[in-house]
Amino acid sequence: MSQDNDFKIDPVSGKATFKNPPRLPNVENNEQVGSGRVTALLGYGGMANVYEIWDPQLEVYRAVKIIKPDCTKEALERFYTEIKITAKLNHPNIIDIHSVGIWSQLPYIEMERVKGITLREIIDTFGALPPKLCTAVGILICRALTYAHSQKYTLYGTTYHGIIHRDLKPGNIMICPEGLLKLMDFGIARPIDASFHTLDNTIVGTIQYMPPELLQGEKIDVRTDIYALGATLYEILTGVNAFPESNFGKLVQHKQKNQFRPLNGFKILIPDKLRKLIHKCMQQDKNRRVASAQTVLRELEKVHKRLTSETPEFILNKFCANYRKAKYIPAHGWAIPWHTIVSAIAFVGVLGFAIYFSSTFLEYLSLNREVEKITLTDELSKEEKLKLVDYIKPKKKESKKESASNAKRRIEKKSTSTAISKKKVKEQKPVIKQATAKEKRAKPKQQTLLEKLTEKHGTNNPVELASKELQAGNAQNAYALFIHFSASQNASPQAIIYKIRVLQKLTKHRELTALVSNHAVKDGEFLLAKAKLAYNRNSIAEAKQILANTLNSPVRYTDYTAIKQQVFHYKALCASKIFDTNPTEQNYLKALEEWRNLGALFSSNRTHYLFKKYREETRRIGEKYRANRG
């Protein structure tokens, strides 16, 4: 892709002039662009248009981003930089790039077609969102930023370490129906060591999410993205932007002073640690800001675990499945405070009691009047009066009230019949019914396991029951529930993952191997199980290849950190096996590197069994290497 042969830059306007007039694709004509034909215009901006294309060979939809014909030199340079930068990123939470090319003299990027809804649309629709949804989104963004900030790569002949997104905001975050989060638009991304100013000395990006130092011409680093992340999390929790001013002058003034409404100024229940973390991310002094995305990730994971046991992917998947049915929450971010809720409940309780008491009191007065009428006409004992009141009470709503004399006769009749009945019961001998032989043999019907667990957990979904029993440590019960899975449930990724856990727990290797061999699930936990099986049958090369792709796949049903630890563990085990088979210096250094990578994960938890294993194994392979050298 040449930048010199197809166009020249006008020195006056700064715009590109082409040899032949370029044009954008025509959607109605389904023109061929990249690997497929254009089917729709997905979006457009100042620099480029994004189209949907259909690839008939792979039978998949993809997206193509094409620069506009009236682009400036700066826009072209940014576009080529985006192509080079994004192509170097391969992470489940970052948009994948498939190819690049030229169409009608215009450069384009062909990337994965992400179907979902942007975080911008979600906030605009629902306003303030629950804290666990906030932490779920934050964790997945942090994974993408941690990856991007640590990349080592070459760009235009210079080696860099780390990529800064520079335009992190809700509009560039896509939430997908399957629970994935995709960070988009690296169009103004830059290497960490590069200047943030454009050629005409203007600043690019979205000012509401920029840190104050950018407006003062300071050099950027990863803390630029940390500030934008804090502003994004702030908006998720409150439903409003931290800097909502529409007047540009006031907006710049507030940004330079970093004046925003603190989270404790909203009547919203926010965990204290989450509130403090967001405020620290948005510190005006970047030296007091959180230093890295990795640190933010660790803190968010701690808060998330206190809020829920569900994984971030599972929460987003559940939200996407129900967001159309979800109740609208006003975007002003104000929620009813807890003390108001308590006061309202107390008021309703007092009001209900008052209504009940008043109706009871009126009823009591009415009944007293009836008793007084009876006393005037008949001479009754106190006990008989009380009985009469009870008798009159259910009849008070009848159109024709019973007379006092009739009530007296009915009470006397009832008392006489009751006395006779008691006498007969005393005189009669008890008759004991002899059970028949058939009745003796009959046993009460026993509940099935499914019925018992349904009663226990309040759901009759066998997949959910299996999950709950597995969490409770009852793997055998979970295994027994497999026969109740429907065909569609058996084929679902969630059921397959739960089956893997149960079979691993019960050490049913043959069934586990058959399950993993007969299915393909794009999930890190599934790939880890597949890699473990390959390692156990001594297929080390296969295990290494699977492990290399495991962390690039989404982890929907468990904790990402736990999967990462196991991946590093098995990478180290594979390296040790290779060294044991061929104890060369190169294999020793590779094994030592893998075990040190594992040890680094547990540097703050040295009592963990994997940290102890790291120390034991590095000692063992070191002794073996030295012994072989003689």
Mean pLDDT on 263-290:
93
Gap between the Cα atoms of 237 and 130, Å rounded: 7
Same domain, residue pair 33 and 177: no
Q: Residue 518 is encoded by which pair of tokens?
A: 């007969």
Q: Please enumerate in sequence order all residues whose Cβ is within 8 A of that of 211, keeping only pairs 6 or more positions apart, or say none.
A: 223, 224, 227, 228, 286, 289
Q: Give the model's pLDDT for residue 244.
A: 87
**What's at 444, amino acid-wise?**
P
Asked whether residue 146 is domain-assigned, the answer is yes
Asked whether residue 157 is domain-assigned, the answer is yes
Same domain, residue pair 49 and 161: no
Whose tokens are 């994974």? That residue is 143
Q: Which string of DSSP letters, residue by residue, matches 73-102?
A: HHHHHHHHHHHHHHHT---TTBPPEEEEEE
Mean pLDDT on 377-390:
46
Q: What angle do CA 551, 138, 92 make, to 5 degrees?
A: 25
Give per-residue pLDDT as tens, 216-232: 778 888 999 999 999 99
Same domain, residue pair 244 and 265: yes
First to last CA, the chain: 55
Gap between the Cα atoms of 369 and 366, Å rounded: 5
Q: Give the model's pLDDT for residue 541.
A: 92
**What's at 286, amino acid-wise?**
K
Q: Give the model's pLDDT for residue 104.
A: 86
Strand partners, 8: 17
Whose tokens are 């080390």? That residue is 540
**What's at 311, amino acid-wise?**
T
Gap between the Cα atoms of 465 and 471, Å rounded: 10
Give per-residue pLDDT as tens, 125-151: 888 999 999 999 999 999 999 999 988
Give per-residue pLDDT as tens, 60-104: 899 999 988 887 777 777 777 777 777 778 888 988 888 888 888
Give per-residue pLDDT as tens, 525-548: 999 999 999 999 999 999 999 998
Q: How does DSSP classify residue 271?
A: -
Is residue 281 over pLDDT 70? Answer: yes
- Whats the size of the chain, residue-wise? 630
Gap between the Cα atoms of 100 and 83, Å rounded: 7
Q: Give the model's pLDDT for residue 68.
A: 87
Contact 219, 192 (CB under 8 A): no
Side-chain half-sphere of 614: how many Cα atoms within 13 Å? 24
Same domain, residue pair 137 and 77: no
Asked whether residue 578 is domain-assigned, the answer is yes
Q: Give the model's pLDDT for residue 202.
A: 46
Asked whether residue 430 is domain-assigned, the answer is no
Same domain, residue pair 135 and 48: no
Asked whether residue 517 is domain-assigned, the answer is no
Is residue 156 over pLDDT 50? Answer: yes
Contact 39, 54 (CB under 8 A): yes
Asked whether residue 301 is domain-assigned, the answer is yes
Asked whether residue 269 is domain-assigned, the answer is yes
Gap between the Cα atoms of 1 and 7, Å rounded: 12
Same domain, residue pair 36 and 140: no
Give per-residue pLDDT as tens, 299-358: 999 999 999 988 999 999 888 877 655 544 433 433 444 455 556 566 656 666 555 555
Gap between the Cα atoms of 502 and 152, Å rounded: 40
Mean pLDDT on 244-271:
88
Q: Which residues of 132-149 are buried (b: 16+ CB within 10 A; e: fewer)?
A: bbbbbbbbbbbbbbbbbb
Q: Residue 37 is encoded by which pair of tokens?
A: 């034909």
Torsion of CA 179, 180, 181, 186, to 10 degrees: -160
CATH classification at residue 297: 1.10.510.10
**End residue of a domain, out of 322, 350, 380:** 322
Same domain, residue pair 215 and 66: no
Asked whether residue 477 is domain-assigned, the answer is no
Least confident of 214-228, 259-273, 385-399, 563-577: 385-399
The Cβ of residue 179 has, within 10 Å, a number of other Cβ atoms equal to: 23
For residue 87, give its domain range: 7-112
- CA distances 375 to 238, 316, 380, 411, 519, Å, are 69, 73, 7, 15, 87
Same domain, residue pair 63 and 151: no
Task: Kindly tell me the burial class for residue 120, based on how many C-beta atoms sit within 10 Å of its own C-beta (0-12, 13-18, 19 or more).
Answer: middle
- C-alpha 629, offset from chain centre: 52
Q: What angle do CA 532, 536, 540 make, to 5 degrees?
A: 80
Contact 554, 524 (CB under 8 A): yes
Q: Which of 566, 571, 584 is nearest to 545 (CA)?
A: 571
**End residue of a domain, out of 322, 350, 375:** 322
Q: Which string of DSSP letters, residue by residue, matches 329-349?
A: --TT-----HHHHHHHHHHHH
Same domain, residue pair 528 and 389: no
**End residue of a domain, out of 366, 382, 413:** 413
Same domain, residue pair 203 and 289: yes
Same domain, residue pair 270 and 363: no
The maximal CA–CA distance of the chain, rounded, in angstroms, is 123
Gap between the Cα atoms of 375 and 366, Å rounded: 15
Total domains, the chain: 4
Gap between the Cα atoms of 410 and 496, Å rounded: 72
CATH classification at residue 62: 3.30.200.20
Contact 186, 163 (CB under 8 A): yes
Give per-residue pLDDT as tens, 160-202: 888 888 889 999 999 988 788 999 877 556 666 554 344 344 4
**What's at 595, amino acid-wise?**
W
Same domain, residue pair 132 and 239: yes
Q: Residue 553 is encoded by which pair of tokens?
A: 């796949």
